[in-house]
Amino acid sequence: MGLVVQKYGGSSVADALGITRVAQRIVATKKAGHDVVVVVSAMGDTTDELTDLAQQVTPLPPPRELDMLLTAGERISMALLAMAIQNLGQVAKSYTGSQAGVLTTSHHGRAKIIDVTPGRIRQALEEGAVAIVAGFQGVSQDTKEITTLGRGGSDTTAVALAAALGADVCEIYTDVDGVFTADPRIVPSARRIPRISYSEMLEMAACGSKILHLRCVEYARRYQIPIHVRSSFSAKIGTWVADLKVLQAARQARVVDTPSASEEGEMEQPIISGVSHDRSEAKITVVAVPDKVGEAARIFKTLADAEINIDMIVQNVSGIATGRTDISFSLPRADGQVAMTALSRIKDEVGYEQLLYDDRIGKVSLIGAGMRTNPGVAARFFAAVAEAGVNIEMISTSEIRVSVVVDEDDVDNAVAAAHRAFDLDSDEVEAVVYGGTGR
Ligand code: ASP
Ligand code: MG
């Protein structure tokens, strides 16, 4: 029998009833003969509420104390869940991230996991207990302070634990039936994706799909951990995030609830897996940059020093008359102010004319491993966007992705048009959102 790591999101444990329901599910897995380690998120909107509370006492909460505060959310749900399981007659023990051996960097609010040393979790399993671990948190290896992993970080806790324990599968329970070909709130005819490769899921998570934390997918790929994203409100099989050979190995090891080869559609992988969108970015244009060696380096070094992650970059050929060119790039909206300030400081040094800031943009991305070998994907995508009457402001590509930046108001139309153009629409409405928050 195997070792299963199960992660339950906030909407699955939103109230006492939810916690009881989840406890029954865990006990059923345990009774089927598996060892079970559970990672929980904070109940419902607790993390948002705690953040609001902090904002009410100070406009700038000290990062150390904010982490202390936010980690309390997961401590509440882990203890309640352990109690609910014990009430059903199984032994269960809860552990904070620190107790579970989740060692991180010291950056409060966005710490990275460095190592997981789950000695106490192994011991609990040996004693026959279900181990419940608080998600989203750890302890800094050098400062010994309590840290958090960034919003949505419990997914990463779960996969990191699964890797450290050598689990057979990491099940991520949420309030939708899996990963869909588009956000069902925009495209009601979106389909559930039976299996998606790590690289495609990484692109989706990086392009605005909020179903899995980006770092959790990176971790899963590095350690080849199969992830099963599914709803805690139904018994349906969800989406397997795994490369084909990892899924086949899981099937052979008789891990719980793997799809059969035919259900999974192993034979006919579509060219396009899905369409993602992101409304969290902004665009900055540096106007009339002199066309000389080193200007782009100076601009982007300034942004790198300010710890800003740049997404797309567009630079045109310079005008013959002026010898100047515009450079545009996109970045997280949250970093917009910092970037503008940093760039204004180097105005004279670089010699550009002005800075333009636009946060009324959205990004729509088409993702699919099949585009490597199928020509014409970009053309079909752009044609669909054009037919929807949507203007494209920027374009970027990877081997398995084409993204466009459009006006914020055009995002929904562009997503629906692309989804239709690649025949991703399902005949019936498959997507059910049980909880409503996607957590
Ligand atoms: N509770 C945290 C959040 O709301 C972590 C998580 O749910 O993954 O972001
Ligand atoms: Mg989440």
**432 pLDDT band (50/70/90 cuts)?**
confident
pLDDT tens per residue, range 354-406: 999 999 999 999 999 999 999 999 999 999 999 999 999 999 999 999 999 99
136, 170, 217: residue to mutate for ligand 1 pocket, most atoms within 8 A of CB: 136
CA of 50 to the centre of ligand 1 (A): 12
Query: In ligand 1, which atom is closest to the CA atom of 150?
Result: 9
Q: pLDDT at position 319, please? A: 85
Q: Give CA–CA dist 274/21, Å, rounded.
A: 32
| Spacing, Cα 151 to ligand 1 middle (Å) | 5
The pLDDT tens digits for 272-293 are: 999 999 999 999 999 999 988 9
pTM value is: 0.91
pLDDT over threshold 70, residue 152: yes
Mean pLDDT, residues 50-78 taken together: 97
pLDDT at residue 257 in the model: 82
Q: What is the pLDDT of residues 162-199, one digit of tens each?
A: 999 999 999 999 999 999 999 998 999 999 999 999 99
Distance CA 256, CA 237 (A): 10
Report whether residue 154 contacts ligand 1, using a CB cutoff of 6 Å.
yes
Tell which atom from ligand 1 comes closest to the C-alpha of 42.
Answer: 1
Q: HSE-up of 426 (CA within 13 Å, CB side)? A: 16
Nearest to 108 by CA among 53, 52, 62: 62
* pLDDT over threshold 90, residue 426: no
Residue scoring higher pLDDT (227 or 264): 227
- β pairing state of 113-116 and 102-104: antiparallel
What pLDDT is recorded for position 435? 64
| Mean pLDDT across 210-238 | 95
pLDDT the model gives residue 320: 84
* CA of 73, nearest ligand number: 1
Among protein residues, the one with the nearest Cα to ligand 1's atom 8 is 152
How far is it, in rounded angstroms, from Cα 37 to Cα 122? Answer: 9
**What is the pLDDT confidence band of residue 436, given thresholds at 50, 70 and 90?**
low
- What is the atom index within ligand 1 of the atom nearest the CA of 155? 8
Is the minimum distance from the CB of 136 to ligand 1 under 6 angstroms?
Answer: yes
pLDDT value at residue 281: 96
**Is 72's pLDDT higher than 80?**
yes
> Closest residue (by CA) to atom 9 of ligand 1?
151
**Are 132 and 92 contacting, i.e. CB atoms less than 8 angstroms apart?**
yes
Arithmetic mean of pLDDT, 104-125: 97
Other C-beta atoms lying within 10 Å of the C-beta of residue 313 = 14
Q: Ligand 1 pocket: which of 39, 52, 154 to mutate (most atoms <8 Å of CB)?
A: 154
Q: Is the pLDDT of residue 434 over 90?
A: no
pLDDT at 439 over 60: no
pLDDT at 266: 60
Q: What is the pLDDT of residues 229-266, one digit of tens each?
A: 999 999 999 999 999 999 888 888 877 788 777 776 66
Mean pLDDT value across residues 57-76:
97
Compute the mean pLDDT over every residue in the chain, rounded to the nearest whole number. Answer: 94
Q: Residues 41-54: what's their mean pLDDT?
A: 98
Residue 44 beta carbon below 6 angstroms from any ligand 1 atom: no
The confidence band for 268, taking pLDDT boundaries of 50, 70 and 90, is low
Domains delineated in the chain: 3-268 (3.40.1160.10), 272-421 (3.30.2130.10)
What's the per-residue H, E or C state across the chain?
Answer: CCEEEEEECHHHHCCHHHHHHHHHHHHHHHHCCCEEEEEECCCCCHHHHHHHHHHHHCCCCCHHHHHHHHHHHHHHHHHHHHHHHHHCCCCEEEECCCCCCEEECCCCCCCCEEEECCHHHHHHHHCCCEEEEECCEEEECCCCCEEECCCCCHHHHHHHHHHHHCCCEEEEEECECCCECCCCCCCCCCCECCEECHHHHHHHHHCCCCCCCHHHHHHHHHHCCCEEEEECCCCCCCEEECCHHHHHHHHHCCCCCCCCHHHHCCCCCCCCCEEEEECCEEEEEEEEEECCCCHHHHHHHHHHHCCCCCCCEEECCCCCCCCEEEEEEEEEHHHHHHHHHHHHHCHHHHCCCEEEEECCEEEEEEECHHHHCCCCHHHHHHHHHHHCCCCCCEEEEECCEEEEEEEHHHHHHHHHHHHHHCCCCCCCCCCCECCCCCC
Atom 4 in ligand 1: which residue has the minimum CA distance?
A: 47
Indicate whether residue 148 lines ligand 1 (CB < 6 A). no
Arithmetic mean of pLDDT, 341-345:
97
